[in-house]
Structure 1
Amino acid sequence: MGVQFSHPWLLLLLIPAGIFLYYAYRSDFRLSGFRRKLALGLRTLVILLLVFMLSGLHGFTVLRDKQVVFLADRSDSMGDSSRITSWISESMAAKGEDDTTAVVSTGLEGAVERRLSADESAGASLNALLEGRFTGLESGLQLAGSLLDGNGDSRIVLISDGEENVGSMTAAGRLLKDRGIAVDVLPAPKQEIRDVAVEELKVPEKLYQAESFYVEALIRSTFKTAGELRIYEDNREIGRERVEVSPGENRFAIKGLAKNPGLHRYRAEIFMDGDESAANNAAYDFTRVDGPPRVLIVEGAPGTSGNITAALESGMIGTEVIPPELLPLDAAKYAAYDSIIFNNVSGSRVGGKQMELIEQAVRSFGIGFMMAGGEDSFGMGGYFKTPIEKALPVSMELEGKREIPSLGLILVIDRSGSMSGEKIELAKESAMRTVELLRPKDTVGVVAFDDAPWWVVPPQTLENKEEIISSIQSIPSNGGTSIYPAVSSALDEMLKIKSQRRHIILMTDGQSAFNSGYQDLTDTMVKNKITMSSVAVGMDADVNLLQTLAEAAKGRFYFVEDETTLPAIFSREAVMLAKSYIVDKPFVPALQQAGDWGSLFQEGVPGLYGYVAATPKSTAQTVLVSPEPDPVLARWQYGSGRSVAWTSDLNGKWSKEWVSWNAFADTLTEIVKWTFPQFTSSPYEVTTVTAGNQVKLQVTTDGENPPEKLNAVIGDEEAGEQKVELVQEAPGRYTGLVDVTKPGAFLLSLEDASGDGSKAAAPGTGFVVPYSPEYRISSGEGEEGLTRLAELTGGRVLSWDNPAEVFAGKATSRTQLHDWSYPLLVAALLLWVADIAVRRLALPWAAIGARLAALLRRRPAPAGEAGQRTGLERLAARKARAATFYGGGQASPPTKAPPAQQRSGAGASAGGGNPAPAPGAAPAGGRKAQPEARAPQRGAAPLREERPAKAKPAAGEGARRGSAPPPPPKAPGGGERRPEGTGPAAGGGSSMDRLLQAKKRGTRR
């Protein structure tokens, strides 16, 4: 046993503490005698204890023992644990008397069998209930390490095969190394058994009803045998096959047919001759079987989609045909289709909102898209710089491809007050998009009108497009509507333009105040080969006037209820001026990058009579090209979806040989099926991570308004169901834990629980929990992992033949500390309270001191006699101090009085009266002269607490006032008895009188 200080430099505080105590001893006059010494001693002890506590005074004991924790792996792969128990018992028999041992078991998690104990009869039984289907060595090492303090010779003995499948024993080993705990390992021998396991089952992620498919199974075996492989769909057997397996991997495939739509679980089981382990004889997977795929066909002209519907329906693909005006305005409705086909649809009939939704459906939800050509499609349909063009594998620009006639275009735009807001913004967007579509050699002008025309952009060539676009952006809305002056001004300027083709586009949403004189304008246009198209926006526009003007000027009339179609209309008008977008001459398309579609054209490619020119995008795959060369058939991946461009038509005008081709139906069906989604379209992405008997669900969504609460509903093969509330870790990200007690394929659906009730949030999906890795055929790498763990922590690789090796070698000494901070603080507080009591409480401290002194001398005195002597000694001391002060002479030490006199004095003092005068003394008030009092001796002042409040007059002065002090007592024999050293020469007055007066003063205090 020893002591030491954690902060010895704080012992320097004893220096100022000693100075403080010395000063307190010298300056404190309020206490005296034993009381003063006791208070000073208590305060000294308090200060010493506090300084020792701050300095970290603690005791320590040097121990020389070993602490060993046996960690037994009791997972199923270890087999019977009796051999482990015997080895631990034999090892404990070799431990030292002071060595302590503990036993911990581990499976999925660790369990303490016995805590550290030095008892030799503690035993090594392994009885804890554990989950043996998993091996969690990390959990066991952490638990074993928590039983050790890491001081001295502390170590863990791990008995395992090293085949961990939950956690990481290496990570736990690093933490143990930092704490100075070594890990000895005892590798368990690998169990040699005849085992056949189904390690993997694969089914296509998505199937369509009546589609055939293959179920693939991977079987691993340790020996050669034969048996039966069975395939189950939702616990219904759908296939059985006799198979033979060899040591190693064996792969088999069994054909199946998707009959019923919905989510389906699949299970593969094996029944092999000689197989000694049945826990790994099944594997699981799931798939979604959809009903017949549905394709939405949007046709530009009624009755022109018969060829498409007939071809798709012959391939078991359902179709729905609608005009472009009926396209949904809800994104969820597009998810009901596998693909969308635009059959010669003009962009002027497709709203901007619908274009954005279709582009999003392809990019985010994987819906397919195909555009078929015609005179109102692609560039001729006004799709330049629209969301639809973004999704297509071709662009509408033809710059540098062929000679296009020079164009002269003037835009006449209504900027009246009724055009304020979104209308004027869309009108400006339409004009800017048209300017971007034109070439530098083309001429463009923009005139805005209200009550009068205002030339925003005077007619000029497009040498500086940015400046012209900036001018268009500055058009405000204000004033009334007067169409004629604006059209007349535009015509006057158009007559000055020398372009090959000249065109005017008039757009308004109101009624003109002046409706005469238009006939002369349209006649002039026809005469000079100038055309004009008109756009009526809304029901308030003068539809009759605008339609008459367009027909008279050989142009086109557009009635627009959805202002978002304005950009497409302006783009279409600009493209139609060129006329070179349509190539109407016969040719035979050539194969360029056919890829997997090459088999569709093995017997040749039919000819075509025309198409709409376009430019393939850089990452697109061009399958068929024209002699120009322009793309005829192109495809690409756009986001999560796929899209196809067919630049010729499908109604027979240009594709007469194609629609009469005997392979047309199969070819078109394969092209459309290629665009089908490659996954289940859902705004939610679900991933699963299996750890032991728990599955962690992770759900993410990119939606704009993710639900506040989301629940996952999990169903198993036995119709059991559990609901798990997912925790929202961040906007659009949810997690949850699912407890799984057995392997299988589980169906999962999501519910939005934000409102009063729950509603489906996404289509159902599933996840697979395979059988535990504990039952996989061992790879034989477990022993290597145990060896690395021992090397990492500084441990040893032990042998089954030498159990005593665990305690071999000399134990490392270790120090066990004993913290004394709390006892020191408690003692200081108690002594501080005692110090306060000594200084503040009025107790007979002198008597207490005398008793303590007697006890220390082991000679206790009677209480009565001690009290009498103490009182007499106190009176004698006060008498001596009073005599010194008043008599001026050196007072002689008081003599011890006879017992009777002591008792008399004690009784007089107790009675509170004055003592009776001695015989022969003069009565009080007599005039007998007393000897003149001697002046007090210099330097003989009494102590402060005994000093009289007022100075007494001298003996002579008292006689002059007529009060004589009492006479001194008579000595035996009639003479006057005086105390030794007193008398007339010692001072006037009676010494006893002065002594009694001093006593009274002390009593009053």
Structure 2
Amino acid sequence: MTFVHPFLLLLLCLPLAWLVWSWRSSHRHLAFVLKALSFAVILFALAEPTINLPETKTGAIVLVDTSASITREDLARAASLVTQMERNKHGNWMKVVPFASQSRNLLPQEVSNGLHLIQTANEAGNGTNFEAALISSMSAIPSGHIPRLVLISDGNENEGSTARAIAELERLHIPVDTIPLAGRPNTGLHLESVSMPRQAYAGERIPIDLTIDSPQSTHASIEIFAEGKDLGTNSIELAAGTNTVRVHARVNSSGATSLSGRIAAGSLGELPFEQAIELRRAKILYLSQDPPGTESNLIQALGEADFDLTRDASLIEKDLAGIQLIVLNNLDLNAFSAGDKDRIEEYVKQGGGLLLIGGERQVYKEDRQMDALDRALPAKLAPPKTPQGTCVALIIDKSSSMEGRKIELARLSAVGVVDHLRPVDSIGVLIFDNSYQWAVPMRRAEDKSLIKRLISGITPDGGTQIAPALAEAYRKVLPSKASYKHIVLLTDGISEEGDSIDLAREALQHQVTISTVGLGQDVNRSYLEKVASTSGGRSYFLNEPQGLEQILLKDVQDYSGSTAVEKPLTPIVESKAEILDGVGMEQAPALKGYTRF
């Protein structure tokens, strides 16, 4: 017995003293005794006595194993057992505690419509720790109840120490009842480990590495799920012993996501796995000087790949920590300040991505010293070096029919070609009528002023004999060591073919290309087309000479160095690479052009 106010018990001496004093002066002894007892009882009650009587009710913790080794059938059986206990507890206290690596509370979906136990999600479900479950659950039993633990499990412990837990329970005199579950059949198929990144980007291919022990060689399949949604199935072949398998999953959502899977190996059974992964959308800093609307396809592709896109160039100076990729599309890189280039270089050093898309605004300048942006890029934006240069021969018809505007534009066209040649390149201008002669003998394009003066001296006269002139030009071009060898034939008349077609075939075998340009209506169109196509060149036909200069210059550029070629091109995958997995290059449309070097 205990008292809330024990100091009041000291006042019990007052009614006793009063009784002794009144006993002598009066004969009503019984009345005085009753009064004294009444005062004593009142004081005793004011002291608030408390009596603890022994409790005979049981406080039971029902521990239910919900780890990955428990089958759906076992979970249903465990739920049924717990429901029966609940119905028959008869005033005793009971609590259900699911556990795997650690104990947990029942989830709302487990108790919404009756008890429906589910497996513990993520990595916590891969372990079974009896020690943690038994020891941590004892504190939940209310005081005054007789403690008792009930363990429902398949017994496949892989964490903690049951021996330590038993020793502690024996010391506290707490009994444990066990109810076995069937568990999964032991076929020898085991999942030793599951490894996947803790964080990834939405839309990224997430690698999942599995270590599987198999008792025999067998075919198996791996199904992958994200929050219960089927992401596909991978077929694998397991060898007897330890197998290391990598599969991939792609999830387009963001936030915390449960990525789970199931390994099915026929008669060997199934192995589940699950892990939580944090998905976020990658952020791109996109800077471009392309005209509005021309980049819509690229922007759409980035959006469909779940990238967040920003165009705020000030982020380079402020903070690039939240940016995963910088895209520089057709920018004049020399417009960046030295400080901006340093910040981009440091960003790349810290693991940031940098994508450079070429364009006409990126002008190459020969700099001996690399700046910060040059160091950040894996390659320098420079045209390929061709020490041998290119060799170009212009064959110009100077017959009398070329007099006037035609020969004037022919001279201007030849001068335009000379202006675009490098000093390392070679140029020769062969003029012909009934015979031929070199107006500009084959030479390096170093003294361009002299070459232009020689071209300006070309005057029309005579007839038209193409074949001898073509043979002479080919004879001079063939021994050249240049990287590119190209001949352009310009005529406005008709001539005998001679052996021109055989010469064109030989030129093709020796990587010498021949293009032909026909001016006016009086040309042998089929002859000029055949010479060009046979040698791998092109043929052009103009009724008026006004477009001659542009055509001649573009043709020489196309066949004598790096240039943009605007024609459909279908790429072919020569060998498989991981970067192309899932791209679908077989169904990709043709490219609209390419740069040829």
TM-score category of the 2 structures, normalised to the smaller one: 0.3 to 0.5
Between structure 1 and structure 2, the one with the greater Rg is 1
Higher relative contact order (CA 8 A, sep 6+): 1
TM-score (norm 1): 0.24
Q: TM-score, normalised by structure 2?
A: 0.36
